[in-house]
Structure 1
Amino acid sequence: MGSSVDFIYWLDRDMSHKILMCLDDPSDLVRISCVSRSWRHFVIGNGLCKQLCLRMFPQLSRASCVAELNKSGAKEPEVGSSSSMEWQALEKDHRVYAYLARACTSFGIVGCIGETIGASSTDNFPEESIDNTLEARDIINGRASYWSSKGQRNPGVPETLTYKLVCPICVIMEISVHPFEAFFQPGNPIYSAKSVRIKMGHPNPSLDASADGKYVWTYISPEFPMAQENELQKFKLPEPVLCIGGILQIELLGRIQRQEMDNLFYICVSHVKVVGRPLSPAFGIEIREPSSGTFVLKCDQLAKCPTQPAFSNEVQAISPDYVQRRLRDFQQIVTMLRENVVQVVEEYDWDEEDEVDDFEEAYAL
């Protein structure tokens, strides 16, 4: 015990680096940096927390720098002391990336869709708009709720559904899509796609951007085959993805089902769900160069972040059509309640003695 050896002193830098990078839990790196001054210097000086985050989320390679918000008690570097300024920059990176690594694995898992942006095509607007995909129910007020593409003779024509997430930076783990079964058509056909692909990125602020270049995609998933079944189908990403910019697009590739009425191919979706960890307000981004996707990663460790689900994927749409549907639902509920109350009042023969006896028995219990 008395002759214990610090391996960082005895091993060369590369070997020590390989040993410590075998750790995959950010909490372990933070604990190691608290063991001794030499270990702390090694962890911070070699940017191990940043390297761990880059290994977890390659999308962070586009972060040009980090910025701390509401940071109190920071010491100003000495004038002309380049080594002091460099060390403070390394310490800042260590704090931000250590907190980010913990946030990406511990913040609450919730539905991450904030609102709809648009669909590549819509057959009947607004009755069959993309807004319907935020509602988990297939039928609302006796009417089918779903999005439908326009019909195509070519089954290879793709479609896209684009959404804005609840915040500009989220960890996304899985996406679920529910193909629509047309129960009002002969044979109950299911208008699913052959496969889906997920894109994530941020808006392109360039004024001369074409329709195809409206967004800069920083992540594109592999294709996931979709079953022609009336159920919510989950597509788990190979690894959790850090969505930088808060835009998510679902590509629906290939058409399977023709509509008997016009003999055209359609894709219809009743519900879409995106599951992940929102990182705001603890973290934010500032896009520096949209074409390359470089950004500044902002961190506010004083911000209060929810550990329990604070967002619901089912009630995020804010379009007028969505509000009108909710209002109709509410009016229908109120009408039903009124009818039931009137029926109870008319049918029940009120007896004051019975009422007094019930009251006394309740309080006697």
Structure 2
Amino acid sequence: MDFLNFLHHDLSIKILTSLEDPSDLVRFGAVSRSWQHFVIKNGLCKQLCLRMFPQLSRVDHVNELSGPARGHAEAGCSNFNEWEALKREHRVYAFLARGCLSFAIRECISEAIIASSTDNYPEESIDNTLEPRDRVARRASYWSSKGQKNPAVPETLTYRLCADLCVITEISIRPFRAYFQLGNPIYSANSVRFQMGHIKSSVDNLVSESFQDCGNEKFVWTYTSEEFMMAQENKLQTFKLPEPVLCIGGILQIELLGRVQKQEMDGLYYICVSHVEVMGRPLSPAFGIQMLEPSEKFMLEARSYTPPPPPVPEQASSASTLQMRVRDLEQIVNLLRENGGNLVDIIEYGYGWDLQGEESDEEDIDIQ
């Protein structure tokens, strides 16, 4: 006996929308053709995705770049075209729900884009926040804002993620401790907030340099988090989002709210960040988006129904090592510029890199 035939339609919908695992909906639809028809016709997988990620309300329509072959039908048959569109939505949203819950979790930052201000560029640029070490080539690695008399002046750090669609679960920030200043002050923010979205299509290019404004007119934000308090401690502080968030467009902005540390030499308040990490599930290359301006909606594309392979630890370690070496070279180039290209002076005064390793970077050296 098919109980759906004996229940009111709204009650059947109420029961099935109580399912939280997309696999349950797929299994339900596999019981019989009538049940599959019910799931597809009522867009239950789409409703599940919208409950999981309200940001998907901006989807205008979905598309498949690869999918099952279509059967032949009479040209211009509206009922057939409508049913094919519903089946396409069902496939896309069912796989999207699966990917959002099962694709591998990894570091999601691709590159640093813009800081709202930078005290000394490029020595203290936002690029330094991608470096997990707090010293590179025996030199401090951190981003520093410009100094302010008013401790309430905020700052922002903006990053590009590794995919246009990422499910973000947590963000970690390490404030910088100025070990070369008297008292080893820690230049943390009072609190942080996170925004996610995409670059406006009218913006041609964004470059990582010392911008004096946060550039909010260049972005469309589809999510803004609550405010999280930050401790004035020199450690990687993890801010776990209450629910995973689907970042549509691959742009993350960190708002650093309030300053707590004044620099003794000039009496101004600064915020300094040593390192930033963003953990989540990139949905690329299985999914992609195309923004539809000026509506701020987008087309959701299923580019492949093959889940991406999990990252190989050896490859991840090799890529991380390569990035660290590149940053080492960048620091060396900056040192050469500051010293007029005199490599001898750099080594002589103790600013050289350690050819035997980075062990000395872990020591706590006070320069007072």
1:246 to 250, 262, 274: 250
CA distance in 2, matches of 1:319, 1:85: 55
- SS of corresponding position for 1:186: coil
Give the corresponding residue for 2:299. 296
Matched, 1:262 2:266: yes
CA distance in 2, matches of 1:267, 1:232: 15
Give the corresponding residue for 2:225. 221
Matched, 1:179 2:175: yes
- SS of corresponding position for 2:121: coil
Cα deviation, residue 157, structure 1:
0.6
Cα deviation, residue 325, structure 1:
3.7
Between 1:136-145 and 1:84-93, the stretch displaced more is 136-145
CA distance in 2, matches of 1:202, 1:307: 26
User: Could you state the TM-score of these two structures normalised by the residue count of structure 2?
Assistant: 0.83
Matched, 1:94 2:114: no
Give the corresponding residue for 2:5. 9
Give the corresponding residue for 2:345. none
Give the corresponding residue for 1:350. none
Cα deviation, residue 62, structure 1:
0.5
Identity %: 60
C-alpha distance 122-240 of structure 1, shift in aligned 2 (>3 A): same
Give the corresponding residue for 2:19. 23
- SS of corresponding position for 1:305: coil
User: Could you state the TM-score of these two structures normalised by the residue count of structure 1?
Assistant: 0.84
Give the corresponding residue for 1:282. 286
Give the corresponding residue for 1:324. 330
Between 1:312-321 and 1:27-36, the stretch displaced more is 312-321
CA-based RMSD of the aligned residues comes to 2.6
Alpha carbons 2:178, 2:185 under 8 Å: kept: yes
C-alpha distance 163-68 of structure 1, shift in aligned 2 (>3 A): same
What is the CA deviation profile of residues 210-264 of structure 1, one whole-angstrom value per residue up to 9, with x for unaligned ones? Answer: 9431011111111111111111111111111111111111000000000000000
Q: Residue 115 of structure 1 aligns to which amino acid in structure 2? A: E
What is the CA deviation profile of residues 130-149 of structure 1, one whole-angstrom value per residue up to 9, with x for unaligned ones? Answer: 11100111122221111000
Cα deviation, residue 306, structure 1:
2.5
What is the CA deviation profile of residues 175-234 of structure 1, one whole-angstrom value per residue up to 9, with x for unaligned ones? Answer: 001001111111111100011010111111226999431011111111111111111111
Cα deviation, residue 72, structure 1:
4.6
Give the corresponding residue for 2:310. 307
C-alpha distance 240-135 of structure 1, shift in aligned 2 (>3 A): same
Q: Residue 281 of structure 1 aligns to which amino acid in structure 2? A: P
Which ranges in structure 1 are unaligned for 5 or more consecutive residues?
A: 338-365
Cα deviation, residue 326, structure 1:
8.2
Alpha carbons 1:134, 1:317 under 8 Å: kept: no
Cα deviation, residue 314, structure 1:
5.5
C-alpha distance 18-59 of structure 1, shift in aligned 2 (>3 A): same
Alpha carbons 1:77, 1:85 under 8 Å: kept: no
CA distance in 1, matches of 2:278, 2:97: 21
- The count of corresponding residues between Structure 1 and Structure 2 is 329
CA distance in 1, matches of 2:37, 2:216: 47
Cα deviation, residue 80, structure 1:
2.8
Q: Residue 197 of structure 1 aligns to which amino acid in structure 2? A: R
Matched, 1:47 2:50: no
Q: Residue 59 of structure 1 aligns to which amino acid in structure 2? A: Q
Alpha carbons 2:95, 2:305 under 8 Å: kept: no
- SS of corresponding position for 1:213: helix
CA distance in 2, matches of 1:73, 1:184: 65
2:198 to 197, 202, 210: 202
Greater Cα radius of gyration, structure 1 or 2: 1
Alpha carbons 2:138, 2:353 under 8 Å: kept: no
CA distance in 1, matches of 2:76, 2:332: 63
Which ranges in structure 2 are unaligned for 5 or more consecutive residues?
A: 206-212, 336-351, 358-368
CA distance in 1, matches of 2:122, 2:79: 61
Give the corresponding residue for 2:348. none
